[in-house]
């Protein structure tokens, strides 16, 4: 990061583009899942490859005081059969959450449900998951992907919302259109998760400088905290969180009117600190064998984390378990 805090200096921007580019290389993904050395690094961000593994992770988080949402990893499928398989994994997951008495809350991506195949296939697949969630009283969050899917994502959520009113969407602060989208979603009474954005978007549709993204995020977060329906503030930026906490205190916004959301394995120290301060914290917990694209985006969000992650893994390997 450059001294004035802009996103990004040339080396960091190049690394971000590299990781995002690599995330689309399916051949590298197939190789990565077979290389043993990647497993400890992936395990930092992914709760496991199987349902039993993620259930154990969810129980630990529950016992520590966190709420959770589960992502059954997968995206950009190319066949209706793959969509049906993804829906089946969500149905299995939802049933297991209900059976184990765990938080019934899941997140899904529309390209995993067939958005790149056809809107009809995607609609049918998402409807199947929505019905399964409604049957066990579960909340479904539709994740947001790159800007080319924004209109279709919001449109499909509005179309299927009646199948499970316990549902919501994601807005990316980096997109220039997001202020208008937030106003419309507030009017809809939608539950919004606000994130900064993890995709390499063109400057024509997105803010590219860190200061601009941070300013947009803070403005949208304040708007949602004041008038939104229980917004989820998804960020690991400690300084930004501090400003939002001061805003909530100054405006008399109680902690039960919003929640913070953070990714599994990221800023665990900050997650614990927010709990100690009486804040609600939900952890986004991904699992499954199709972790490659998700993992590469986590590295792309802050390439310096690669070095930090390696050091943390070495340190934790030498000491007692956290």
For 194-211, give the DSSP string: EE---S---TTTB--SHH
Q: Is 193 a catalytic residue?
A: yes
Buried b / exposed e across 106-127, counting CB within 10 Å, b at 16+? bbbbbbbbbbbbeeebbbbbbb
How would you class 67 by CB atoms within 10 Å of its CB: exposed for 0-12, middle for 13-18, buried for 19 or more? Answer: middle
Closest CA to 164 of 130, 198, 196, 200: 130
Give every CB contact of residue 31 below 8 A, 6+ residues apart in sequence: none
- Structure token pair of residue 246: 């001061």
Q: Which of 128, 141, 161, 193 is catalytic?
A: 193
Give every CB contact of residue 269 below 8 A, 6+ residues apart in sequence: none
CA dihedral (145, 103, 80, 199) in degrees, to 10, reads 10
Side-chain-facing half-sphere of 27: CA atoms under 13 Å: 0
Q: Which of 71, 143, 181, 214 is catalytic?
A: 143
CA–CA separation, 108 vs 170, rounded Å?
11
Side-chain-facing half-sphere of 134: CA atoms under 13 Å: 13
How would you class 257 by CB atoms within 10 Å of its CB: exposed for 0-12, middle for 13-18, buried for 19 or more? Answer: middle
CA–CA separation, 31 vs 12, rounded Å?
25
CA–CA separation, 111 vs 130, rounded Å?
16
For residue 100, how many other CB atoms are within 10 A of its CB? 12
Q: Is 227 a catalytic residue?
A: no
Phi-psi region of 104 (alpha: psi -120 to 50; beta: other; left: phi over 0): beta
- The catalytic site residues sit at 143, 193
């Amino acid at each position: 990061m450059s001294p004035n805090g802009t996103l990004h200096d040339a080396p960091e921007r190049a690394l971000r583009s590299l990781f995002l580019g690599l995330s689309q290389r399916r051949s590298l993904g197939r190789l990565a899942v077979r290389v043993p050395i990647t497993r400890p690094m992936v395990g930092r961000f992914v709760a496991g490859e199987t349902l039993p593994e993620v259930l154990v992770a969810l129980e630990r988080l529950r016992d520590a005081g966190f709420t959770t949402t589960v992502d059954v990893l997968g995206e950009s499928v190319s066949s209706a059969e793959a969509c049906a398989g993804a829906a089946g994994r969500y149905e299995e997951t939802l049933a297991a959450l209900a059976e184990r008495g765990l938080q019934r809350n899941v997140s899904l991506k529309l390209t995993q449900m067939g958005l790149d195949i056809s809107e009809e296939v995607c609609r049918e697949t998402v409807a199947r998951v929505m019905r399964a969630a409604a049957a066990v009283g579960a909340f479904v969050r539709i994740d947001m992907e790159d800007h080319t899917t924004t209109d279709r994502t919001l449109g499909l959520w509005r179309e299927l919302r009646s199948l499970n009113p316990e549902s919501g969407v994601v807005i990316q602060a980096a997109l220039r259109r997001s202020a208008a989208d937030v106003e419309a979603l507030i009017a809809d009474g939608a539950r919004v998760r606000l994130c900064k954005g993890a995709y390499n978007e063109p400057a024509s549709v997105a803010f590219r400088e860190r200061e601009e993204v941070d300013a947009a995020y803070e403005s949208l977060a304040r708007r949602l905290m004041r008038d939104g329906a229980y917004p989820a503030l998804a960020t690991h930026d400690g300084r930004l969180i501090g400003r939002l906490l001061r805003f909530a205190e100054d405006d008399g916004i109680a902690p039960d009117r919003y929640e913070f959301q953070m990714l599994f394995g990221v800023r665990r120290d900050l997650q614990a600190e927010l709990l100690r301060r009486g804040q609600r914290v939900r952890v986004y917990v991904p699992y499954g064998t199709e972790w490659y694209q998700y993992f590469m985006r986590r590295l792309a969000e802050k390439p310096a984390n690669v070095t930090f992650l390696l050091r943390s893994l070495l340190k934790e390997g030498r000491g007692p378990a956290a």
